[in-house]
Chain A
Amino acid sequence: MLHIINKSPYDRPALDSALQTGEGGILFTEDGVYAIAKGGAAEAKIKAAQGKFKFYALGADIDARGLSDRVMEGISVVDYGGFVDLVAEYKTNQSWL
């Protein structure tokens, strides 16, 4: 399953909810991309879960928020076309709104 997260991990528990509930892929979009900034508290959570999940983030949202120089290792940055490919690749997806 593809988990789509558009919430900052510092505002709402969407990332924790996804990590505790499923497996598969996690795509960060919108404010969700704050999770992948190097040095943030969410970095350790993502690192710890890298065996269970593959992590992706939407480049347009990373760039918009001035985070392009802060992307942690192990994150695949995708464009909107890549977003479409991920939705096609996984049989189902869940938006953690």
Chain B
Amino acid sequence: MTTKKFMFVNRKAPYGTIYAWEALEVVLIAAAFEQDVSIAFLDDGVFQLKKGHQTKDIGVKAFEKTWGALEDYDVTKLYVAQESLAERGLTADDLAIPVEVLSRADIGKKMEEQDVLLSF
């Protein structure tokens, strides 16, 4: 099968809308199709990665457990915008999984290298 560079651009916070969750479902399918998958977290998308989600009282599945599945599918290229973290008072230590923190400009360069950009 042809392998293409797929980047998922996640810019929305979790729980308020379903985009983040359904984006993750596509990521896992793309990985199952053995594509070269990466995820960029920009703007409110960085909130998806915040540690310590306690979702019991809103009755919605938490993200944190699902991030583990990314490693099982060899999705390890996770880029987070430094500016988006800083604006929101976060650092890489606040995140549930290890990521590569890059400037927005560097994430832009990664985007330019892709074959397919899917934004949710």
Contacts and interface: CB of A to CB of B under 8 A. Distances in A.
A21 B11 contact: no
Nearest to A12: B43
A17 B43 contact: yes
Nearest to B84: A17
Interface stretch (A32-40, A55-63, A78-86, A89-97): A89-97
A76 B120 CA distance: 27
B77 interface: no
A95 to B, nearest CB: 5
B111 to A, nearest CB: 6
A19 B111 CA distance: 14
Interface in A7-44: 13, 17, 20-23
Interface string B1-36: 000000001010000000000000000000000000
A13 B81 CA distance: 15
Contact of A17 (B11, B105, B114, B116): B11
A95 B119 contact: yes
Contacts of B112: 1, 22, 92
Interface residues of B, number: 18
B11 A97 contact: yes
Contacts of A20: 83, 104-105
Given A17-B11, A21-B104, A97-B119, A92 B42 contact: no
A97 B120 contact: yes
A22 B117 contact: no
A27 B120 CA distance: 18
B100 interface: no
Contacts of B115: 92
A90 B88 CA distance: 32
A-B pairs with the 9 shortest C-beta distances?
A22-B108, A21-B108, A20-B104, A94-B117, A21-B104, A95-B119, A97-B119, A92-B117, A1-B112
